[in-house]
Structure 1
Amino acid sequence: MMAAPGASAGDSIRRAFLWACSLDVMVAKPGNVSMGAAGHGMTAELFLASAEASAPVLADAGAGVGARIERAVMCTRAAAGCNTNLGILLLCAPLAAACERLGQPADPARLHATLETVLAGLTVADAQAAYRGIALASPGGLGEAPDQDVAAIPTIDLRSAMRLAALRDTIARQYANGYADLFTVGLPVLRRQLARRAVWPDPLAHAVLAVYLAFLARFPDSHIVRKHGLAVAQSVTHQARAWDRHVATGHALDLPGLQRWDHELKLGGINPGTSADLTVACAMMAACIDPSLCLAFPALPRAGMERVT
């Protein structure tokens, strides 16, 4: 990962994480909380406060993946008082550990290989710490699992525990498959859309929306499944496919239409939170591969940029 002159790997990881988390709320994604559209009892300010509070521990040099997750959840709870970013932390902690190991310019293939090494090295202690973090975050709709339930103390390593949940949870599947969905779906879409910067008035927002819609169009959102059932999640995925096809064929997004869809989803209490989490992790991944993105496409409020540059 290319760090700015004089910056440590931790500084670069923290900057990439904050950039990605800021995009999460600065770009209005249907069903999600954004700067211009609160929802689900939360505001964008809570998400930004959570990101700022959790970034230092997520980028803590030498810390284990489970410890990063647990401590980041603790910092989030102290800053926001609720669960705003558990999925983001679960996805970004292994990514931060992999970027720390690289510590130099990395292409997607090298990052992918290093991330696989990090996942393969996860331990029972990582699982126990991550489970404590999940319990503290107290996400809604988890239900019970027949084996290695999050309410119990895990007896297997974190990757093995995630494999048990991979069929029902897209975030867990990333641990199982080495983040294949991010590398083969999200990252190519993001890079392709940013390469069209001369076409769109706001290429960054267009790219983030394109990634979000790509995930939502391909995978029934795990958060929706837990809260509302598979049928509702599949219905939202079906709606997303039309938008995804529109973007994939080079058309500009119908922003008023997306706003109407956002209103409909929030009116029904439907939040495609897992798709948003995958989008944040994808943006962080892109910024770890090419840190100049944070400068070419600034997303943080000015004060936030001054704190991380």
Structure 2
Amino acid sequence: MPGLAPELIATLYRAACLAELDALKPGNVHAYASGHRMEVADFVTSADVSAPALARAEARIGARVRGGVEATVAAVGQNTNLGILLLCAPLARAAERGEGIAAALAALDAADARDVFAAIRRANPGGLGRAGRHDVAGEAPSSLRDAMAEAAPRDAIARAYVTDFADILRIGRPALAAARAAGLEATWCTTAVHLAYLSDLADSHVLRKHGAAVAEAVRREAQALCLRITPGPAAVEPLLAFDQSLKARGINPGTSADLTVATLFADALDAAKGA
């Protein structure tokens, strides 16, 4: 299958980032409300400056992640998109090469591991803690997938690397298709995807910062909300109430937002390929 041009990949990546920001996503930064000392403008800038590295022609996955993180931190002075880049870099490389995500991930090597570990250290994500094996503060392993497998039970982004993005295929893409089939406008389709992740998975970012009990409680709150509302204008009030409640508790379900961007990006890439 012929691959997509890097320029198109960059455009679709940026569009996915901006579409995620336009949607009301409880607990995250979005067009309806800022939060966690971050503004929508920080994320717009992050999308702009990271797109060239994310889509750089013939670049390996690790180099795309590292370049995007370095450009982002230089521009906004903080980590706004490490998870997004970790998820979108494999999708970008696969799309450019005209191959599936499984093939892109199977080709990861020691150079990818070094670049990804360097990117994580540069971004310094909150609540990362220490690991007994493959700690990012130490030397990168020879296999990035081995390191991701170690973290997979507690981190959805790491799990994507060892399951060929199974959560996106199981949760995100069906939620997006169902929202479209229901006739929801694009921004509400994005909200539906975010809520699908938030109600199905204990958010990894919440888990790292607040522990398993809080992460599971948030998941159950999201699940209960989804039983009461359908994404759309009539749901703005309860969604904003949940948003304010999470932010008042300092809870940022950032992994759910990262998975939402990756879902939109994967869908746009498939559409561009005619899949």
* TM-score grouping bracket, smaller chain normalisation: over 0.9
Aligned length: 273
Q: Deviations over 1:122-175 (max 9, x none)?
A: 001100110000000011111111101011111221112101100010100000
2:140 pairs with 1:154: yes
2:258 pairs with 1:277: yes
2:49 pairs with 1:53: yes
Indicate how the Cα distance of structure 1 residues 236 and 150 shifts in structure 2: closer, same or farther if over 3 A, else same. same
Larger deviation, residues 15-24 vs 268-277: 15-24
Secondary structure of the residue aligned to 2:122 is helix
Q: What is the deviation of 1:189?
A: 1.1
Aligned with 1:214 (options 177, 196, 218): 196
User: Which sections of structure 2, spanning at least 5 residues, go unmatched?
Assistant: none
CA distance in 1 between counterparts of 2:262 and 2:201 reads 16
Q: Which residue of 2 aligns with 1:242?
A: 224
Q: What is the deviation of 1:251?
A: 7.2
Aligned with 2:65 (options 66, 69, 79): 69
Q: Which residue of 2 aligns with 1:29?
A: 25
1:233 alignment partner AA = A
Q: What is the deviation of 1:243?
A: 3.0
CA distance in 1 between counterparts of 2:164 and 2:206 reads 23
CA distance in 2 between counterparts of 1:96 and 1:173 reads 18
Q: What is the deviation of 1:27?
A: 0.8
2:247 pairs with 1:266: yes
1:256 alignment partner AA = E
CA distance in 1 between counterparts of 2:91 and 2:208 reads 25
CA distance in 1 between counterparts of 2:249 and 2:2 reads 43
Indicate how the Cα distance of structure 1 residues 292 and 64 shifts in structure 2: closer, same or farther if over 3 A, else same. closer
- TM-score of the superposed pair, with normalisation by structure 1: 0.84
Indicate how the Cα distance of structure 1 residues 2 and 281 shifts in structure 2: closer, same or farther if over 3 A, else same. farther
Aligned with 1:101 (options 86, 97, 102): 97
CA distance in 2 between counterparts of 1:141 and 1:227 reads 5
2:120 pairs with 1:134: yes
Q: What is the deviation of 1:185?
A: 1.2
1:78 alignment partner AA = A
Q: Which residue of 2 aligns with 1:185?
A: 171
CA distance in 1 between counterparts of 2:204 and 2:2 reads 33
Do the aligned residues in 2 keep the contact of 1:2 with 1:288 (CA within 8 Å)? no
Do the aligned residues in 1 keep the contact of 2:10 with 2:54 (CA within 8 Å)? yes
Do the aligned residues in 2 keep the contact of 1:2 with 1:290 (CA within 8 Å)? no
Q: Which residue of 1 aligns with 2:110?
A: 124
CA distance in 1 between counterparts of 2:188 and 2:104 reads 32
Indicate how the Cα distance of structure 1 residues 48 and 2 shifts in structure 2: closer, same or farther if over 3 A, else same. farther
Percent identical across equivalent pairs?
44
CA distance in 1 between counterparts of 2:2 and 2:31 reads 30
- Aligned Cα root-mean-square deviation (Å): 1.9
2:238 alignment partner AA = G
Q: Deviations over 1:184-217 (max 9, x none)?
A: 21011112212333xx4xx112211111111111
2:157 pairs with 1:171: yes
CA distance in 2 between counterparts of 1:145 and 1:70 reads 21
Q: What is the deviation of 1:2?
A: 9.1
2:39 pairs with 1:43: yes
User: Which sections of structure 1, spanning at least 5 residues, go unmatched?
Assistant: 103-110, 294-309
Secondary structure of the residue aligned to 2:154 is coil
Q: What is the deviation of 1:246?
A: 4.8
CA distance in 2 between counterparts of 1:233 and 1:43 reads 24
CA distance in 2 between counterparts of 1:193 and 1:64 reads 34
Q: Deviations over 1:14-52 (max 9, x none)?
A: 111111100121112000001231100000000000000
Do the aligned residues in 2 keep the contact of 1:124 with 1:157 (CA within 8 Å)? yes
